[in-house]
Structure 1
Amino acid sequence: MADLPILMFSVLIMCGNLLVIISIIYFKQLHTPTNYLILSLAVADLLVGVVVLPFSMILSVSSYWQLENLLYRYYAVCQPLRYKTKINVRVVVIMILVSWTVSIGIGVTILGPKQGHNRRCALFQNTHSTITGAVFAFYLPAIIMSIIYLKILMVAWRQARSIQNTTKTGATVSKTERKATKTLAIVMGVFLICWTPFFLCITIHPLRNYTIPVPVIETFKWLGWSNSVFNPCVYAFFYSWFRSAFRMIITGKIFRGE
């Protein structure tokens, strides 16, 4: 019975992210550079449900996909006239490959075999590698994301003010900017809320001579994993095209030709 919650959580993660993956692959309208990044993130989250949860492993690299989406939103706001020429499928593919390579490297570094402390989880066997892994897997991307978001917020606010002062459509554009900025804030906020407690815990744990109770670490680990459930909602359910695609998949309309 103890395995039932893990199984249900795993199925929930897999179903949500499979909807995102199938939608982007099947519908040509969703074949855009930004959605390819969402596809990459959905694949990573799917692996959490397929591999990580069943085998009780630790996944600590999802921040890189969050950072990609934030960088492209930054380019779209701060360099709008050059966005479509600079951010193309080739650039997106390269960024995705770099993200997966860096993520795998960090994962191997954190979870690789260590000497000593045989009864402890490999994640905590070496204080230096644990803290270094946390810095590069979470803290550094989180700081960069926060700085970029503040820049986006400032530029979007200035653009909205400028448009309001020069055109009659200022209210509409301002509303669009606010919605996009709010969506980005939700994306970042959910990610940071889910993963910050766990990474703070694993950073402090070796420094306090492993005195943090295991149930506390496990609770924060589950909170981090829950980000893989929220991502399909945050990235997809905010957009009408994804909602329509989900309905077509769930109701089986994609098997009816047109």
Structure 2
Amino acid sequence: MKVYGLIGINLDHSFSPVYFENKFIKEKITNASYKLFPIHDIRDFKSLIQENQDLSGLNVTIPYKQQIIPYLDELDFHAKNIGAVNTIKFIKQNNSLKLKGFNTDYLGFIDSLLPILPRKRMNALILGTGGASRAVTYALKILDIGYKSVSRNPAGKNELSYNQLDKNVIENHQFIINTTPLGMHPGIEEYPLISYQYLTKNHLVYDLIYNPIETTFLRLAKEKGATIKNGIQMLEIQADYSWKIWNDL
């Protein structure tokens, strides 16, 4: 039996096990299972590997997408450039184990975005500067979409503070992406502090969060007529890419 799973914190409400269980049933895959592996310190990763010899692959979520990198033997080209990993492939050869990191988040983001991306030129605001934001930044560069990052502690000329998100900034950045965990279950009342009053029907607002399906961030944007998109499709697409990596498909 091949065992796959997810490492991170607060995993009880993750949709990943449901997605993979449904995939296994639909595709009649009988030699695989998908489990949750909550760890409260990245230093527990080594013992997790030792205690679960059947592991064949892992997904990585908040807050370990960057912290996991020193524990891996190799990164693929894209993960290295992004600086964050959400997929680990277990390569077992001659009684040795090599862990290789990949990033499929940027692929999930691009593939889920293209069907709703307007043809007109847009500039983006990326809320947050963590591991997930790195994949979004990478994707926007591929799509040739200009962007600025928004942080509580901005550093560098391409970063803004939340206090700087005035009418002019919101009007000139019609694509807004939340990569922070604000609003994620169980903290569903939380949301990024942006100037929602300046959103219009011309805005596209994307939340990487998928639980709840409609975050407060998306609800407030929808009330202003903006097009909204949650992270469930991105999750499914990146998970499918992970499966292909694990199984050399």
TM-score (norm 1): 0.27
Q: Which has a greater percent of strand?
A: 2
Q: Which has a greater percent of helix?
A: 1
